[in-house]
Amino acid sequence: MASQQVSGTGTKRSVRTKINPYEMLLQQLDLVREQTDIPAGTWEILRRAERALEVSLPITRDDGEVEVFTGYRVQYSSARGPCKGGIRYHPAVTLDEVKALAGWMTWKCAVVNIPYGGGKGGIICDPTRLSERELERLTRRYTAMIFPLIGTMRDIPAPDVNTNSAVMNWIVDTAGLLHGEPVPGIVTGKSIELGGALGRREATGRGVMVVTLGVLQRLGIDITKARIAVQGFGNVGSIAAELLAKQGAKIVGLSDVSGAYYCPTGFPVDEVLRYTATSPGHLLAGYSARGVEEITNDELLTLDVDVLVPAALEAQIVTENAKDVRAKVVIEGANGPTTPEADLILAEKDVVVVPDILANAGGVVCSYFEWVQNVQCFPWEEEETNQRLGRVMQRSVDEVWKLAKERNVSLRLAAFILAVERVAQAIRLRGIFP
């Protein structure tokens, strides 16, 4: 298969109210508005996506039958530069979800101060039901349908849930054929041989690690004594777990779409990675070792740990379970894993929450590096990429932490204030056309 499950939650979970991600985004903006003097007209711009495209995607299945899928591409803001954002393949994709994710990408790029706006894409599908050839057909048709919107200086897609470098390779090839010349900078997250950046696959997880170290240091928590639970053992969660373990942390909880597991003495993360490299679907299901017990996803989220890293899908920490979260620090490896209502509950419990737009921004930072290398036709060594990534993430933690202390607000609110004010300033400087 060309794609694999890159994030997920445990299979056993309580019934929860369905959360609309776009409503979450607007609630977050409403909280920011109380902390700024941005004009009302600018707020109307900030609350709306610039452009949203819905496309019909007919493909011929391997059995000769035609099936029609639905896809989306949203450009939320281009005030600070070309739109940037991943493409996800998932049965639960909705237009509101894609709009919210494009909005979060806008703030994410602004909070780490890279010259991008925010975009996002998605196709409603279950990639596990599609063969590699069917996935390729679907990807190429989707590329053709969104081609009028994307471009090296307009909108640059990237991998997201259930997409990977193979999917990006098909996009860059299709776009190049439609354009009539190579366009390596039209997507990021490609294979190295096609212009991908060394270190890109690990970048989001590496960014989570850098942010975690920075925040724990400021809180006076020794990383070598920290107990960490990671929800979602896909690309982001697995790499974050691996890198944090190498820093001396004890990873005591792990989960993915197939189940959740607890090991009080700490998982041998390298061994778990070797297991998932060859397991069916690259999932944790069936993993066993001395001291490891299977738990539910809700039990993993409420483990007695120093750090919880939700690195699965959005709306995982909600009103129903937030009161039971026992972690001292939550590092949001996923986009939107904590609802606004749950955020308030965690704040009352003095849980430090490092928001997604900061915590998982390492991926888009490295995507920016890949794009720069493509535009300049000058590749970097992996060490240079990692060093630059570390500097950007450390600087961003410094800026958000400082603003939070100055205004006596949460890290989430500080990150949003910083990001939204930067976008608002770009809108002001550009003016309104015509």
Q: Give me the active site residues, please.
A: 120
DSSP character string of 348-405: HTT-EEE-HHHHTTHHHHHHHHHHHHHHHT----HHHHHHHHHHHHHHHHHHHHHHHH
- Write the CB contacts of 350 (distance below 8 Å, at least 6 apart in sequence): none
- Write the CB contacts of 18 (distance below 8 Å, at least 6 apart in sequence): none
Residue 184 structure tokens: 């390596």
Q: Give the count of alpha carbons within 13 A of 6, CB side only.
A: 24
**Dihedral of CA 395/400/404/407: which sign?**
positive
φ/ψ (deg, to 5) at 32: -65, -40
φ/ψ (deg, to 5) at 33: -55, -35
Distances (CA, A) of 212 to 23, 238, 340: 28, 15, 22
